[in-house]
A = this chain, B = another copy of it.
Amino acid sequence: MKAVLDHIGIAVRNLDEALAFYRDALGLPVEAHEDVESQGVRASFLPAGGVELELLEATAPESPIARYLEKHGPGLHHITLRVEDIAAALARLKARGVRLIDETPRNGASGSLVAFVHPSSAHGVLVELKQVLYTEKPREA
């Protein structure tokens, strides 16, 4: 199956301070900001070539990013690979005994389906698979 890197998720304690480094010091542009209340997270997306860095700040104390920061501190959180057929990808991984967090795809942001592979099967890496169903209008920065 064909897979391309879509983005890298980086957990940060403070989005504004993280933007002072990634945007202002490194000079990366910011394409979009999103506030996902249901996930207790707000995010900024910074294109770096064909992929994006996704800076993630927790907005609720029990959110996955808050729990990650508490346990590990800030840093590289996950990578997202875009595949053409997420159901086929999950079936292939399952047949090989790969441990999945999501056995079936669930709705992601912006018209996508997503599923996570468990880090124990991906050598310590939280791998998200993503299938784009349709393209929404471009996000505003």
Contact = CB atoms under 8 A, between A and B. Distances in A.
Nearest to A72: B124
Nearest to A55: B123
Contacts of A122: 21-22
Interface SS of chain A: helix, strand, loop or mixed?
mixed
Contacts of A5: 5, 8, 48-51, 53
A71 to B, nearest CB: 12
A81 interface: yes
B51 A124 contact: no
Q: How many copies are assembled?
A: 2
A76 to B, nearest CB: 4
A81 B21 CA distance: 14
A96 B1 contact: no
A50 B55 CA distance: 20
Interface in A26-53: 26-28, 48-51, 53
Interface of A: 1-5, 8, 10-13, 17-18, 21-22, 24-28, 48-51, 53, 55, 73-76, 79, 81-82, 89, 92-93, 96, 98, 119, 121-125, 127
